[in-house]
Amino acid sequence: MLLQVAVLTLIVGCASRSAYVNPQGPDTAVNAGQINIQDFAAAADTFVNEILERVSQGQLPSSRPGKPAIMAISRITNKTLQHVDIDQLVKKIRVQLNRSGRILTTTTLAYGEVEDPLAKQTQEQLQALGKADGPLIADYTLSGSILDDIARKSRMTTQASYIFQLSLTDRNGIALWESEYIVTKQGRKAAVTW
């Protein structure tokens, strides 16, 4: 009997504690010391809501009547001390805007290296053959930065604020939409809360 209990305890004790969780659900891990996946999602959600609200009021029109406006991704700077993949924020915004059918993103026009060099090459070849319109000019460009502000609340508790700032600029260089989203978290540094 004792042996059976011991074996059972061993089996239970050795069982894997890993589990799948919904990345959009409430069970994702929260770290005060870093930007978590839900922080990017909340920031992107806020920005998309604001952009779509402007679109729905006709404040972000397309230069091509009846067709969606074109947005290019400009410089989005990571000014935090962490390694942040900007695509975690930008891709979510792009996907949402794409699904709305009102703003599409170009992958052949970018600040620095283009996202899809082969598509750009194809575009240039078609233009050389006279089978494509002139060079693509985006209606809007998306730029911004991510900043952080770390403060100590007490000897054990640290407060971290992550500030997401984005602007949408038109062809005339006027920022037609600008926004800021701040997420603030408190906790022990590097501690995970559930």
Interface with another protein (CB under 8 A): 22-28, 30, 38, 40-42, 44-45, 48-49, 52-53, 55-58, 92-93, 95-96, 99-102, 193-194
> What DSSP element (H or E) covers 192?
strand 192-193
Q: How far is the CB of 11 from another protein (least distance, A)?
A: 29
Question: Which CA distances in Å does 56 have to 48, 100, 133, 180?
Answer: 12, 10, 29, 20
Quote the CA–CA distance of 82 and 10 in Å, as a whole number.
Answer: 40
User: Which letter does DSSP use for residue 102 in this model?
Assistant: S
Q: How far is the CB of 27 from another protein (least distance, A)?
A: 7
In the chain, the N- to C-terminal Cα span, in Å, equals: 37
- Give the H/E segment covering residue 73: strand 69-78
Instruction: Report, in Å, the least distance between residue 176 CB and another protein.
Output: 16
Q: Which CB, 64 or 125, lies closer to another protein?
A: 64
Supply the minimum distance, in Å, between the C-beta of residue 30 and another protein.
5
- Name which of 123 and 139 has its Cβ closer to another protein: 139
CA distances 130 to 64, 70, 122, 127, 135, Å, are 20, 22, 12, 5, 12
For another protein, give the closer residue by CB, 30 or 132.
Answer: 30
Tell me whether residue 39 or residue 123 sits nearer to another protein (CB atom): 39
Look-up: residue for tokens 């930065």?
A: 145
CB 71 → another protein: shortest distance, Å? 15
60 versus 70: smaller Cβ distance to another protein? 60
